[in-house]
Each structure stands twice: as structure tokens, then as C-alpha cells.
Structure 1
């Protein structure tokens, strides 16, 4: 069991560490360019290639998507309750409690733990979180909803095309399948490298708040995962994927919203650093619980 868990977490820690070390020794790394390539080209291709090529049913994808919606709802409820009791502003901290880093960390981890099926289900979960970030994220941070901003996201277009293919059963030409699979292959290592670089650049402004918010992120996500796995009777890989995706650290994108709308970005950044560091340290436990949920542990 130990070697099985090590084989999963070692690549994650190694690639994140490489990104961190690369930035710390001041080697050139264009976050904007690489991030845009991953977001605008790699991720849409990964979504399409994985979901259209995986041997999973639309019912499984729908079940994971619904589970993701419900986990986010439970996480939001836990976050609102704790933040209001603590007197902390919702517009600054609620997103950190709700949205885990399902892209940079969750998707790679589900792929390494559960293989192709885990990757496909992880992507389905990630899509829900991504849409939530660009809808509820804007509502909470800015107090408004911008539909045009959501419709400009390439993952929305990729999701629409993917759903069309899955529902209609259209046969994807081999050259399109191969091209999207090749381009999607850059996403997982690039996401982990970007995470490492981001950790080297973010600073902790208030360790006490950052630690408390990191604990709240895990508490909210874990509560949501356990509740939904039990309520929906999820088993196997589906249960393991929901657990992993729900317990990921605070998403890096949260600091972008905080900077854009003046919501104490230095404190949000501190939450991301502490939350991510704690999650990396706790990966053996998170992976073990995921395997236990799935029945493979």
C-alpha cells in the first residue's frame, strides 16, 4: 500500500518541486504565455479527447457533475456559516472555502490514482468548478454576473462540443482525436509546473488567517465529499474522484479575483500558499482515503 501511494504522490511532488525550484533560481518562465496555452488550447483539447475517448457513459459523467454541484453547495454552506460566525467578509474568503484547485492539482491526481477513468471523471468535476468560478466567483467578488465573460472561456465551447458528440454518438475522425490527445497531453505536467511557480511567487501576509482558512477549505470540501458520497451512494472510482477533487487546496485563481476587485489579495494569496503546502504534506492520507472510498485500498 505504501509503495502504491508513493507511486502516485511522488510524480506530483517532483513536478511541483521542479516548478518551484525553477522560479526560485530565477530561470525564465512566462506564466501568462504558458497559462494561456494550457487554458485556451491544452485544457479544451484534454476535455474533448478524454471524454470522447474514455469508456465511460454519459450517466457517469452526469453523476459526477451533479456530485460536484452538490459538493460546492455544501462547501458554500459550511463556508458561509463559519465565516459569519468569525466575522470575516464573505466577498474576500468565501471563494477560498468553496473552490479547490481542481485544475492544477485535482485533475493530475485523479489521473495518477485511477488512470484513464479517473482522469475522465476528474475532468467532468473540474468543468463544474470552472463554471462556478466564472459565475459565482464573479458574483461573490464583484457583486455582479457577467455572462459574456463566461461565454468567452474556451472550456465552455469545448464542453458544448464534447456533450454534442457524446449525446449524438458522432464518430470523431482519427486525426482530430489524435491531435486533441497530443495537445491535451501538455496539460497535466504544465499545470503542476505552474502550481510550483505560483507557490514561489505568492507570499503569506497573515499566517494565522491563512492557516485558519486552509483548515476551513479542507473542512468544507471533506464535509461536502463525505455527505454527497453517502447521500448518492457513490462507490468505486466515482467516490474516490469526488473525495480527491473536493479536498484540494484553495484555487490559485482566487487570488486573481481578489486582485481584480480589491478583496485583500495578499491574504487570499497566503491562504493559497498554506492550503497548498498542507495538502501536499497530507497527500498520502488524501490518496489513501480515496483508495479506501473506491475499494482499491
Structure 2
């Protein structure tokens, strides 16, 4: 069992360590460019490549999206409770409580833990979280129009196309399938390297509060995901992946949104950093239960 768990975590640790070491050595890494590349090209290609040929029926896909949305809404409500317990502004804790790192860290873990068959569910959860984060998150971080942000998100169109293919039981033309599969290949490695780069760039000042928040959020997220997934009768693999994905550490993008809105970015940085470090301890335990 230990060898299997290590095989799952090793690629994640290796990729993040590579990015972390790269920055610590003073080498240049164009975070803005890579982020745009991953979210505008890599992620849509990954969604198409994973969902279009996935062995997942439309009902399971829809219920997984619904379950993810309900978990996010529930965690948003719990953010007000955590804000009172930790004596923080709810607007500071809302995003870190709602949005786990289902992309940079979640997808690689799901891929190596559950293989290609489970990866489609991991993509479904990640996509739903991204839609919430880049609409509601953008709205809270600025006065921008969330619908405008949604329309400009290529991943949305990839989801629509994938759902149409699932509902009609249609496959992509071979030339397009091969092209999308090739392009999507750079997405997960770049996500991991960028995660390491982001962690190396974050200045952490309050470790105690970051650890305290993580110890509260992680079990709440896991139990909420399990309860809602069971209620919606998700397939066993989808339920396990929903619990795993929603238990991921705080997403790095929460720090970027906090900086943009000027809502205690240093504190949010501590939440990202501490929860990511703690994940190296609790994720193997969670995987041992779920796998």
C-alpha cells in the first residue's frame, strides 16, 4: 500500500519541487504567460481529450457537476462560521474555504490514483470549481461582469462540446482527437511546476493561523463532499474523487484574487502555503481510505 501511495504522490512532489527549486535558484519563469497558456489552451484541450472519449455517461457527469456545485455552495456557507471562529473578515475566508486546488494538484493525484477511467470525474470537478472561481471569484475581487468572464473562458466551450459529444455518443474525428490529446499533454506537468513556482514566490508570515484554518477546513470539506455525493448516489469512483478533490489544499489562485482585491493577501498566502504542506501528510491517509 505504501508503494502505491508513494507512486501517486511522487510525480506531484517532483513537479512542484522542480518549480520551487527553479525559482529559488533565481531562474526566470513567466508565470503570467504559462497561466494563460494552461487555462486558455491546455485546460480546454485536456477537457476535450479526457471527456470526449471517457467512459462516463451523461447522468454521472451531470450529477458530479451538481454535487461539486452543492459542495462549493455549502463550503461558502461554512466560510461565515469559520470567519467567526477565526475572527476574520468573511470576504477574506470565502474564496480559500470554497476553492481547493483541484487543478495544479488535484488532477495529477486523481490521474495517478484512479487512472484514465477516474480522470474524467477529476476533470468534471475541476471544471465546475473553475467556473465558480472565475465568475464568482472575479465578481468578488472586482466589479467586473461575471457573465462576461464566463463567455471569455475557453474551458466553457470545451465543456459544452464535451457534453454534446457525451449526450449524442459521438467521437471526435481522429485527426482532431490526436491533436487535442497531444496539446493537452503539457497541461498537467506545467500545472505542477507552476504550483511549485507559486509556492516559492509566496511570502508567508503567519504559519499558525494557516495551519489552524487547514485543520478546520479539510475535514469539513471531506465530510460535506461525502454527504452530498452519497445523497446524489454518485458512482463509487465519482464519490471518492469528489471527496479527494474537495479536500485538496487551498488553490494558489485565491492568493492572486486576494492581491487583486487587497484583502489580506499575506494571510491568504499563509493558508495556501500551510494547506499545501499539510496535504503531503493527510493526502496519503485519505488516498489509503478512498483507493
Residue number in structure 2 paired with 1:78 = 78
Alignment check: 8 A CA contact 2:53 2:171 kept: no
Task: Report the secondary structure of 1:135's partner residue.
Answer: helix
Higher alpha-carbon deviation: 186-195 or 138-147: 138-147
Structure 1 residue 166 corresponds to structure 2 residue 174: no
Higher alpha-carbon deviation: 279-288 or 176-185: 279-288
RMSD: 1.7
- Structure 1 segment 83-102 matched on structure 2, within 5 A: 83-102=83-102
TM-score, structure 1 normalization: 0.92
Residue number in structure 1 paired with 2:188 = 188
Residue number in structure 1 paired with 2:32 = 32
1:249-276 deviation per Cα after TM superposition (whole angstroms, max 9, x unaligned) = 1011111111111111111111101111
Structure 1 runs not aligned, ≥5 long:
292-297
Structure 1 residue 243 corresponds to structure 2 residue 205: no
1:200-235 deviation per Cα after TM superposition (whole angstroms, max 9, x unaligned) = 111212223222222233133112122123323445
Aligned residues: 291
- CA distance in 2 between partners of 1:183 and 1:201 (Å): 28
Residue number in structure 2 paired with 1:206 = 206
Alignment check: 8 A CA contact 2:76 2:98 kept: yes
How far residue 19 of structure 1 moved from its aligned partner, in angstroms, is 1.4
How far residue 7 of structure 1 moved from its aligned partner, in angstroms, is 1.3
- CA distance in 1 between partners of 2:37 and 2:145 (Å): 26
Higher alpha-carbon deviation: 233-242 or 54-63: 233-242
Alignment check: 8 A CA contact 1:74 1:220 kept: no
Structure 2 runs not aligned, ≥5 long:
none
Residue number in structure 1 paired with 2:129 = 129
- CA distance in 2 between partners of 1:53 and 1:235 (Å): 18
Alignment check: 8 A CA contact 2:50 2:120 kept: yes
Alignment check: 8 A CA contact 1:202 1:269 kept: yes
How far residue 143 of structure 1 moved from its aligned partner, in angstroms, is 6.7
1:39-83 deviation per Cα after TM superposition (whole angstroms, max 9, x unaligned) = 111110010111001121111211211111121122222222221
TM-score, structure 2 normalization: 0.94
How far residue 85 of structure 1 moved from its aligned partner, in angstroms, is 4.0
Task: Report the secondary structure of 1:53's partner residue.
Answer: coil
Residue number in structure 2 paired with 1:295 = none
Alignment check: 8 A CA contact 1:96 1:213 kept: no
